């Protein structure tokens, strides 16, 4: 069956809340307004205000409350209206959610999901267009997930809710209306498992979240030149499925990593370093990274377009690793 990315998340959350009465949703405007992006549409009517909880505008406060609830045996899903606002809760996420299991010697777990939209949308300017996944990936104790398709979003959010660890679940804002096939019924996708979205033999394109669509578009353009690009979606950024990424890199010998985030200390740098350690002798040349511009996101539409990677940049990067420039 087909569903939008938004509908896939709605189905998954609804199914998990029906399956386990310990699961509850908390955040700004998740109940009466049904979520800023309507992911929680219909939840208040079905589950009531004890399990769909509207909060004041206090990310640090309601994230801390949810962490305490998780420690006490519940399974909260925290919606941040955008991941830019998660910055306000970083003390709770980094110093409590990520560390309590370690600091308690395994006596306490924090099975919490912190989810919401990330990356750029359309002209939301510098404070609301950030790709912050590298921040969270830097922290031991956090799992970080960034699905690109409705099918993956549904299966991965279910696995995230059932996981005993804190999971950061980032949904690119522009993906919410995107349609795709999703599996019927109750299915999960394991965290930490990448997927080859398009097989190829000449060059590997590694991309996640919204950039997967850019990589797939680039692969189509490359195919018109007779270049068969393999597109791999990590899906989970931490833990990273290095086995699948390395197998593709080993097969093609050429790698381009695409990310919307900033270049310095970005996810692409970590992926490249990991692949160099694993398959250096199989690579025909240096790994090339395609990233967002190293600057705050502009508001002007033409400048915003220039700051975000596009398919032509990925094609140019593929030409570079193929020594066609």
Residues 199, 126 within the same domain: no
Please say if 122 is a catalytic residue.
no
Residues 154, 207 within the same domain: no
Rounded to whole angstroms, the Cα distance separating 45 from 31 reads 9
Residues 29, 97 within the same domain: yes
Residue 134 domain-assigned (yes or no)? yes
263-304 pLDDT, tens digit per residue, is 999 999 999 999 999 999 999 999 999 999 999 999 999 999
Residues 158, 227 within the same domain: no
- pLDDT given at position 111: 98
Structure tokens at 285: 């040349």
20: CATH: 3.40.50.970
- Give the Å distances, CA to CA, from 189 to 5, 182, 209: 15, 12, 16
Residues 158, 9 within the same domain: yes
Residue 131 domain-assigned (yes or no)? yes
133-189 pLDDT, tens digit per residue, is 999 999 999 999 999 999 999 999 999 999 999 999 999 999 999 999 998 788 999
H/E stretch holding 147 reads none
Domain boundary residue, one of 154, 181, 208:
181
Cis preceding-peptide flag for 71 (omega within 30 of 0):
no
Residues 152, 19 within the same domain: yes
Residue 190 domain-assigned (yes or no)? no
3-state secondary structure of 114: strand
Nearest CA-CA partner of 62 in 79, 82, 84: 79
Judge whether residue 35 has pLDDT over 80: yes
Residue 143 bridge partners (DSSP): 167
Cβ–Cβ < 8 Å for 155, 187: yes
Domain count, the chain: 2
3-state secondary structure of 206: strand
Of these residues, 128, 195, 217, 319, which one is catalytic?
A: 128
Structure tokens at 5: 């990315």
Residues 6, 55 within the same domain: yes
Residues 164, 203 within the same domain: no
Cβ–Cβ < 8 Å for 305, 279: no
79-88 pLDDT, tens digit per residue, is 999 999 999 9
224-259 pLDDT, tens digit per residue, is 999 999 999 999 999 999 999 999 999 999 999 999
Domain boundary residue, one of 131, 159, 181:
181
213: CATH: 3.40.50.920
Domain boundary residue, one of 181, 211, 231:
181
Residues 154, 218 within the same domain: no
Judge whether residue 324 has pLDDT over 90: no
Residues 18, 124 within the same domain: yes
Please say if 164 is a catalytic residue.
no
Phi, psi of 42 (to 5 degrees): 85, 0
Of these residues, 16, 28, 59, 133, which one is catalytic?
A: 59
- pLDDT given at position 81: 95
Residues 205, 287 within the same domain: yes
Judge whether residue 1 has pLDDT over 90: no
Contacts of 84 (CB under 8 A, 6+ apart): 118, 127, 128, 129, 130, 132
Rounded to whole angstroms, the Cα distance separating 153 from 209 reads 10
Cβ–Cβ < 8 Å for 77, 26: yes
Q: Position of tokens 């002007």?
A: 300
Q: Could you list the residue range(s) of the whole structural domain that residue 93 is in?
A: 2-181
Residues 141, 282 within the same domain: no
> pTM of the entire structure?
0.96
Rounded to whole angstroms, the Cα distance separating 170 from 134 reads 11
DSSP state letter for 170: E
Residue 212 domain-assigned (yes or no)? yes
Strand order in the sheet with 52-54: 52-54, 23-27, 75-79, 113-118, 167-172, 143-145, 236-238
Residue 54 domain-assigned (yes or no)? yes
Residue 44 domain-assigned (yes or no)? yes
Quickly count: other Cβ atoms within 10 Å of residue 131's Cβ: 26
Phi, psi of 241 (to 5 degrees): -80, 80
Rounded to whole angstroms, the Cα distance separating 209 from 64 reads 27
Residue 186 domain-assigned (yes or no)? no
At 15, the pLDDT band (50, 70, 90 cuts) reads very high
Residue 87 domain-assigned (yes or no)? yes
Q: Is 316 exposed, middle or buried (0-12, 13-18, 19+ CB in 10 A)?
A: middle
């Amino acid at each position: 069956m087909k569903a939008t990315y938004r509908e896939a998340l709605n189905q998954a959350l609804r199914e998990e809340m029906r399956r386990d009465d310990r699961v509850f949703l908390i955040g700004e405007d998740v109940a009466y307004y049904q979520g800023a992006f309507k992911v929680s549409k219909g939840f208040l009517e079905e589950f009531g205000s004890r399990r769909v909880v509207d909060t004041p505008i206090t990310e640090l406060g309601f994230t801390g409350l949810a962490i305490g609830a998780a420690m006490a045996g519940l399974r909260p899903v925290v919606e941040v209206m955008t991941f830019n606002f998660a910055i306000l809760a970083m003390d709770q996420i980094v110093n409590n959610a990520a560390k309590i299991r370690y600091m308690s010697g395994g006596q306490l777990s924090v099975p919490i999901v912190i989810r919401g939209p990330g990356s750029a949308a359309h002209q939301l300017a510098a404070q609301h267009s950030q790709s912050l996944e590298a921040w969270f990936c830097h922290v031991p104790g956090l799992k970080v997930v960034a699905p690109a398709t409705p099918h993956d979003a549904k299966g991965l959010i279910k696995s995230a809710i059932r996981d005993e660890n804190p999971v950061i679940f980032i949904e690119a804002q522009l993906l919410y209306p995107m349609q795709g096939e999703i599996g019927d019924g109750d299915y999960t996708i394991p965290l930490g498992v990448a997927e080859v979205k398009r097989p190829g033999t000449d060059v590997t394109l590694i991309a996640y979240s919204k950039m997967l669509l850019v990589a797939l578009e680039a692969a189509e353009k490359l195919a018109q030149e007779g270049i068969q690009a393999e597109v791999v979606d990590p899906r989970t950024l931490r833990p990273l499925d290095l086995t699948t990424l390395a197998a593709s890199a080993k097969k093609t010998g050429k790698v381009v990593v695409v990310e919307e985030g900033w270049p310095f200390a970005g996810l692409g740098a970590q992926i490249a370093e990991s692949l160099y350690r694993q398959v250096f002798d199989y690579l025909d040349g240096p790994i090339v990274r395609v990233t967002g511009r190293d600057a705050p996101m502009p508001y002007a539409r033409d400048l915003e377009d220039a700051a975000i990677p596009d398919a032509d940049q990925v094609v140019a990067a593929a030409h570079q690793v193929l020594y066609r420039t």
